[in-house]
Amino acid sequence: MALVGPLLELRGIGKSYGPVTALEGVDFDIGRREVIGICGDNGAGKSTLIRILSGAEQPSGGEIRVNSEAISFRSPADALARGIATTYQDLALAPRLSIAQNVFMGGELLRGPKFLGMLDHRRMRDEAALYLDRFGFADIDMGRPVSDLSGGQRQAVALARALRWKARIVIMDEPTAALGVAESRQVLELIRRLRSEGVTVIVVSHDMDDLVAVTTRVVILKKGRKVGEIETARVTSGRLGEMIMSGVVA
């Protein structure tokens, strides 16, 4: 039977660091095969929220549900095992490891195919290339360390890892930051491709043009609270920027 209802539900999510409240009472749903943007000015709580969704932080209050089941993540590996992956490089990638090793990295450091009880590195490279090929990067040496790659290539490796682990939700934090025009366009195309393959994508970005180009809807945060949400087909990048600054969604 087909699943109905939202894929991910956030109810009353809060996060405090001692006397400082970073998030308070954040509620919203995310549908299947949706690209949703999370935006806000500095200090809005965006980074805290995605770290909670990625399993890097635990909320101080509220509830997260996936397929209507209440869940709690203890770590990014725990979130990945539940189908939620991130391309945030400090959480998703190990720069000193090779591309193939990063694609197979999981709850245990590596869970790659084995031959005679040992990791089959050749097969890992071949299988990693198949995942990277879906993003147009199969010609890269899968034995290269991730630290040698460009920003766009690192995004592709993180996405390949997410697909290898059959992630249903991928969280992307500032995916085009510090990238040139060509690489930014390439990353936006990766996001569209993920959606076409049935993956739900959450994009956190300061770039209003990017958000309007690829998202179906944006949630706007201000001072740790959700002030509203709007379908991006209804706004221009300029108008979206005005909403973020004013905290008024209309």
Question: Which single residue is written with the structure tokens 């890097």?
Answer: 56
Are 99 and 157 spatial neighbours (Cβ–Cβ below 8 Å)? Answer: yes
Listed in sequence order, the residues at least 6 apart from 189 whose beta carbon sits closer than 8 Å to its beta carbon are none
Q: What is the CATH number of domain 32-56+73-246?
A: 3.40.50.300
Longest Cα pair distance anywhere in the chain, in angstroms? Answer: 62
Pairing of strands 169-173, 200-204: parallel
What integer pLDDT is reported at residue 1 of this predicted model? 39
Residue 116 has pLDDT above 70, yes or no: no
| Measured distance between the N- and C-terminal CA atoms of the chain, rounded to whole angstroms | 38
Domain boundaries, the chain: 32-56+73-246
Query: Is residue 26 scored above 90 in pLDDT?
Result: yes
Residue 61: strand pairing partners: 14
Beta strands per DSSP E along the chain: 8-17, 20-30, 35-39, 61-66, 69-71, 84-86, 114-115, 118-119, 169-173, 200-204, 217-222, 225-231
Percent of the chain with pLDDT over 70: 92
Answer yes or no: is pLDDT of 53 > 50: yes
Residue 11 has pLDDT above 60, yes or no: yes
Spell out the residues 6+ positions from residue 228 whose beta carbon is closer than 8 angstroms to its own. Answer: 219, 220, 243, 248, 249, 250
Reported as a single tens digit per residue, the pLDDT across 222-248 is 999 999 999 999 999 999 999 999 988
What is the pLDDT at residue 112?
54
The residue-averaged pLDDT of 87-101 equals 84
